[in-house]
Chain A
Amino acid sequence: MMREESAIPLVFKVIAGFALVVLLLPLVIVVLAGLNAGDYLTFPPQGLSLRWVKSFLSSPVFLSAYFYSFLLALCATLISTVVGTLAALYLARSSSKTSGAMRGFFMLPIVLPGVVLGLALYVFFTTTDIGLARTFPGLLICHVLVTCPFVIATVTASLVGFDISLEEAARSLGASPWTAFRKITLRIIAPGISAGCIFAFIVSFGQFETTLFLAVPNHEPLPMAMYISLRYKFEPTAAAAGIFAIALVVISTIVTSRLVSLRRVFKA
């Protein structure tokens, strides 16, 4: 064990440590800024207090934005997990020549700048007049589009090396196609689905650019509410909201990985 650890070159450890600091520092700053005792969003904070946390908890604007974002991310995650998993299964098993092109097409929303996608959808919804512009279903469609590729990517990764004869073995042992899928395939790719779920939720919850074009008037999701709040009054409430956003992401990650436990799937 000792030897394995010392086998990692020092330079790698330094790079890893640096990356960790760069990634975590902003989070620490947001948390500290949210606990600021002063009147304005400043760092370092002028003393610690729960003043702005209380302000967030009593702000109807922020609270409704928070729950709106939560609901939106939940719906988007559910839909894109199902759709993305099915798509990944199809892409992995199809022998069709078009499946490569289809995979690229499904991945486009990741590559496309959010501003472009948001604008495109907005123009599409308004010009076709199909009643989706600046509505919850319209926004949800957009979030599913953006989050689906993450699910497809993670599930595809878990399907690499998945041996179809496992499913066939289950079938000849008496399992219907659905039972074989549920008891064998689904269990084996569960870590991939779980990871896709977490990605989808985080991406949807933090989605800003596309939301700018498609948000329902007076129902801003949290990222927009934070932006508006910071633009008009430079209050630490937004940072306090950030604390709750971070907490939600952490909790949802833990809950998801517990529900589809990685350990249960690959227990030693």
Chain B
Amino acid sequence: MSDIRLVNLSKTYGEGNAVSEINLKIGEGEFFSLLGPSGCGKSTTLRMIAGFIKPSAGQILIGSDDVTALPPEKRDIGIVFQNYAIFPHMNVAENIAFGLKLRKRNKNEITWRVTEALKQVGLAGYGERYQRQLSGGEQQRVALARVLVTEPRILLLDEPLSALDKGLREEMKFWIKDLQKNLGITTVYVTHDQDEALTMSDRIGVMSKSKIVQIGTPQEIYERPKTLFVTSFIGHSNMLDVTILGQDANGVTVDLNGQELKTRASSSVTPGGAAKLVLRPENVLIGAALGDGDSRLSATVLSETYQGPIVRYRLKVGEQEIVAERQNQAHVERFSPGTVVTIGWDPEWSEALVA
């Protein structure tokens, strides 16, 4: 088990930057996700840690070792690929034994360890099978067993769930997380799926255009996005056009359609400038749900959409639209289109962000 440090890590291809100046410390035993849209540089970063891509600049440290110049086979890293990369000409047992044979372990130990590894991933008795006889989920488990049996210092997972169907993906999400927790192995997980990142990670690094734009716990990333990109990439958000009126120690005052509202701001803003008031639909309260100290506005219900556990309202405030999501449960009032209602939110759950 080791921590990972990336120091000013960069990769340039021709003119463009694939990864620029990433500085990151991933703690021992931590489950760290790199989350971002395709082409943001997350896979390139992972492949640099694995040693398949040579960085243009910067350093990669695993524990106290600088591995920047080492080839993949000398890094003592386990990697699971998107397509699992099970060797098709070897059976499951031979696949898992591959790394142990290279380490010149004796035969009895290999047999014993392969059996143990198969048990660990819930595939006892699968040793004789070949890749084409395994389902996607089983291949995934074999790929993990093959890696874990060599007791790598760190585990790298490159979109390992994206090739699975939805039901299995949900199951594997928790299974992988549990396995990782039990082993306490430092893990870097690359994904474009926010649900995976939010559910599995200890911390998430959101990447955009070759840079890490925000690092934080799933809660911080979801509730305190620092940029409009993070806001729009993770979940849904209302983004209302506002003008900044002023900033003090308690937060920011903004003008929304002529009404003064208090809100939070994580960075300093310029009075008079345009900004977006960012607000999750589940935090927009309607009518009696509002509490003391909440911002209040008058709005017209445009539409009501029933979605089972939640009911979704489109509301009109001045010339702008706000989406509110309310739990569909006992004692929660419903509003029909056309109704004029009072809506609002806790200022601490809204944020002014400058584009």
Contact = CB atoms under 8 A, between A and B. Distances in A.
Interface stretch (B82-90, B210-218, B293-301): B82-90
Contact of B81 (A165, A184, A187, A265): A165
Interface stretch (A17-25, A51-59, A166-174, A222-230): A166-174
A248 interface: no
B73 A188 contact: no
B259 to A, nearest CB: 56
A266 B99 CA distance: 22
Contact of B72 (A163, A168, A179, A184): A168
B146 interface: yes
Contact of B78 (A168, A172, A187): A172
Residue from B75, B77, B89 having most chain A Cβ neighbours under 10 A: B89
A179 B71 CA distance: 13
Q: Which of A163, A171, A183, A184 has the most CB of B within 10 A?
A: A171
A189 to B, nearest CB: 10
A167 to B, nearest CB: 9
Contact of B99 (A163, A174, A176, A265): A174
Q: Main SS of the interface on chain A?
A: helix
A175 interface: yes
B85 A168 contact: yes
Contact of B89 (A163, A176, A265): A265
Interface string A256-268: 0000000001111
B85 A163 contact: yes
A152 to B, nearest CB: 22
Nearest to A268: B130
Interface string B37-80: 00000000000001110000000000000000001110101110
Contacts of B82: 165
B103 interface: yes
Interface in A171-219: 171-177, 179, 183-184, 187-188
Contacts of A187: 89
B88 A168 contact: no
B77 A175 contact: no
Chain A CB within 10 Å, residue with most, of B78, B85, B130, B146: B85
A179 B101 CA distance: 12
A187 B98 CA distance: 14
Interface size class of B (residues with CB under 8 A): 20 to 34
B99 A168 contact: no
A148 to B, nearest CB: 26
A265 B99 CA distance: 20
A179 B73 CA distance: 11
A175 B79 contact: no
Contacts of B50: 168, 172
Contacts, number: 67
Contact of A169 (B51, B79, B89, B130): B79
Nearest to B133: A268
A171 B73 contact: yes
Contacts of A268: 130
A64 B33 CA distance: 70
B85 A173 contact: no
A168 B73 contact: no
B147 interface: yes
Interface string B87-122: 111000000001100110000000000000000000
A184 B87 contact: yes
B150 interface: yes
Interface residues of A, number: 22
A173 B89 contact: no
A250 B77 CA distance: 48
A168 B81 contact: yes
Contacts of A163: 83, 85
Nearest to B96: A173
B74 to A, nearest CB: 8
Contacts of B87: 166, 169-170, 184
Given A173-B99, A173-B150, A174-B103, A168 B79 contact: yes
Contacts of A177: 71
B89 A170 contact: no
Contact of A171 (B71, B143, B147): B71
Contacts of A265: 89
A174 B81 contact: no
Residue picked from A169, A177, A187, A188, most chain B C-beta under 10 Å: A169
B282 to A, nearest CB: 40
A166 B87 CA distance: 6
A172 B51 contact: yes
B102 A174 contact: yes
A163 B72 CA distance: 17
B71 A170 contact: no
Given A169-B85, A179-B102, A266-B89, A174 B79 contact: no
Nearest to A267: B130
Contacts of A170: 87, 98
21 contacts: A166-B87, A168-B85, A169-B81, A169-B146, A170-B87, A171-B51, A171-B71, A171-B73, A173-B73, A173-B102, A174-B103, A175-B73, A175-B98, A176-B73, A177-B71, A183-B98, A188-B89, A266-B88, A266-B89, A267-B130, A268-B130
Given A173-B73, A174-B102, 15 more contacts: A165-B81, A166-B87, A166-B88, A168-B52, A169-B85, A169-B146, A170-B98, A171-B72, A172-B50, A172-B147, A173-B99, A173-B147, A184-B87, A187-B89, A267-B130
Interface of A: 163, 165-166, 168-177, 179, 183-184, 187-188, 265-268
Ranked 7 nearest A-B pairs via Cβ: A173-B99, A169-B85, A171-B72, A174-B102, A165-B85, A165-B81, A172-B72
